Amino acid sequence: MSDQPDPARSFGSVADAYDRGRPGYPAEAVAWLVGEQPVTVLEVGAGTGKLTETLLALGHEVHATDPDDAMLAKLRERLPDVPTSVAGAEELPAADASYDVVVAGQSFHWFDPERALPEIARVLRPGGHLALVWNQRDERIPWVRRLGDLIGHQDMEEAATPLSESDHFAEPEHESFRHWQVVDRVSIQDLVLSRSNVAVLDEAGQSQKLAEVVAFYDDYGRGMDGMQLPYVAECFRATVVARQSVGPTGGTGTQDAATDAEKVDPDVLLIDFR
Residue 79: inside a domain: yes
Task: Write down the pLDDT at residue 8.
Answer: 47
Residue 218 in any domain: the answer is: no
Strand 124-137 and strand 227-239: pairing?
antiparallel
Question: Could you tell me the CATH number of the domain that includes residue 235?
Answer: 3.40.50.150
Residue 12's domain spans which residues?
Answer: 7-137+154-180+231-242
pLDDT value, residue 272:
38
Task: Identify whether 194 is part of a domain.
Answer: no
Adjacent-strand bridge partners of 61? 40
The reported pLDDT for the residue numbered 70 is 94
Q: Give pLDDT, residue 165.
A: 96
List the one residue out of 117, 58, 123, 55 whose CA is nearest residue 90. Answer: 117
Is residue 106 a part of any domain in this protein?
yes
Phi, psi of 154 (to 5 degrees): -95, 125
Whole-number pLDDT of residue 248: 45
pLDDT of 259 reads 36
Nearest of 236, 223, 221 to residue 165 by alpha carbon: 236
Q: Residue 202's pLDDT is what?
A: 87
> What's the pLDDT at 156?
76
Q: How many domains is the chain partitioned into structurally?
A: 1
In the chain the first and final C-alpha atoms are separated, in Å, by: 71
The residue count of the chain comes to 274
Distance CA 177, CA 204 (A): 37
Question: Which pLDDT score is estimated for 17?
Answer: 86
For the stretch 4-40, what's the b/e string if a residue is b when 16 or more beta carbons lie within 10 angstroms of its beta carbon?
eeeeeebbbebbebbbbbbbbbbeebbbbbbbeeebe
Residue 74 lies inside a defined structural domain of this protein: yes
DSSP string for residues in 114-166: HHHHHHHHHHEEEEEEEEEEEEEE-TTSHHHHHHHHHH-----TTTTHHHHT-
What's residue 271's pLDDT?
36
The reply to whether 225 falls in a domain is: no
Report mean pLDDT in 10-residue bins for the chain, 274 residues: 49 80 95 97 97 98 96 96 97 97 96 97 98 95 91 83 96 97 91 84 90 89 74 97 59 43 39 35
Identity of the residue numbered 99: Y
Residue 219 resides in a domain? no
Residue 95 in any domain: the answer is yes
